[in-house]
Structure 1
Amino acid sequence: MKFSSKEQSDKHKKETHKGESFICEICGKVFVHRASHFSHVRSHLPPQYACDSCDYRTCHKHDLIKHLRIHTGVKLYQCEHCTASYHTSSNLSCHIRRCHAHERRHACHLCDRTFYDRTKLNRHIDTHNDIKR
């Protein structure tokens, strides 16, 4: 469908596709947005973009472009609070949440501890279950 404005498109999505989700038929991962689902499904295809400097391979051209910054040393994303800079915007966002906003978005459901990232939370939950990694 085509819409004359983004507002009309958004309204249509809310009214017609409310609560709709998209599931990957290969791994079962669930997505709220069709575009995210489409992009994810491509990740199951054989990689067609390869780095000339290492063995990194991907099926998304934009991922290779981001990866190449590691080899060139280009860090496009500068923290506005300090001198830190990063190869990707997601790394900068994590830095700001952790170092400047002190956000701990991941809470343990078994005690009152909170963590900056899900990986640390999962390791913590393992301690409640006497799991040693």
Structure 2
Amino acid sequence: MHTHTGEKPFACERCEYKSSQLANLQIHTRTHTGEKPFACDTCEYRCASSGNLKKHMRTHTGEKPFTCDTCEYRCRTSSHLKSHIRTHTGEKLFTCDSCEYRCRTSSRLKSHMRTHTGEKLFTCDTCEYRCRSSSHLKAHMRTHTGEKPFTCDTCEYRCRSSSHLKAHMRTHTGEKPFTCDTCEYRCSRSSHLK
């Protein structure tokens, strides 16, 4: 009934968090205590809720119960599916307060916000490289390992990041998505436009 009334009678004693359900408050309280009572029996993963453990177990089983109605995409979580569906609808719910940037996921917005703050949370263990997102760090780490997991379907080109592959594919398609506001110049890379 609390979900209908909007009432949230269960309040955290340490912060302003309130919930309509006691179980949610109990899970929230673990963010303060650090308690992680749910453990994976396959690896060392531990978490604060049974729901998170259930999601984690799919990394071992390979189960992907969430499917897209439009394409063959399958995933492990409903949040990933919601985010994927926006690739079909073009919907960009998350907006930056400082500029006109819009995106489909909260994690992308968080990463984008660091372009304004200059914050670089992710650091390389091997060198002094620092960056704003885990995906950039992953790509950077491949400069040390030499790994090039992204391959072109048309030629023998291999690279370290999906963005590099996307840019390379334009050499085959001839696509020039970057346009100048002042003249008719069009190009395949944002760096060329800059």
Does the alignment reach a TM-score above 0.5?
yes
Q: Give, in angstroms, the shift of residue 47 of structure 1.
A: 2.6
* Structure 1 position 19, deviation (Å): 4.9
Amino acid at match of 1:73: G
Q: Could you state the TM-score of these two structures normalised by the residue count of structure 1?
A: 0.68
Identity %: 27
| Alpha-carbon distance change, 119 to 48 in structure 1, aligned in 2, over 3 angstroms | closer
Equivalent in the alignment of 2:91: 74
In structure 2, the partner of 1:84 is 101
Report the CA distance between 1:58 and its aligned residue.
2.5
Shift of 1:122: 4.8
Contact kept? 1:69, 1:75, Cα under 8 Å: yes
User: Aligned equivalents of 1:60 and 1:123: distance in 2?
Assistant: 24
1:14-37 deviations in Å (ceiling 9; x for gaps) = 89x6554643224x2523422432
Counterpart pick for 2:121 among 101, 105, 109: 105
Greater RCO (Cα-Cα under 8 Å, separation 6 or more):
1
Question: Which structure: larger Rg?
Answer: 2
Question: TM-score, normalized by length of structure 2?
Answer: 0.50
Q: What is the rounded CA distance, in whole Å, between the counterparts of 1:14 and 1:61 in structure 2?
A: 22
Give unpaired runs (5+ residues) of structure 1: none
**Pairing of 1:1-133 with structure 2 (within 5 A):** 5-7=11-13, 13=30, 19-20=35-36, 22-26=38-42, 28=43, 30-34=45-49, 35-42=51-58, 44=61, 46-97=63-114, 99-122=115-138, 124-125=140-141, 127=143, 131-133=145-147
RMSD: 3.4
Q: Any unmatched runs of 5+ in structure 2?
A: 1-8, 15-24, 148-194
Cα deviations across residues 61-110 of structure 1 (Å, max 9, x unaligned)? 3332222111011111011111110111111111111x211211122344
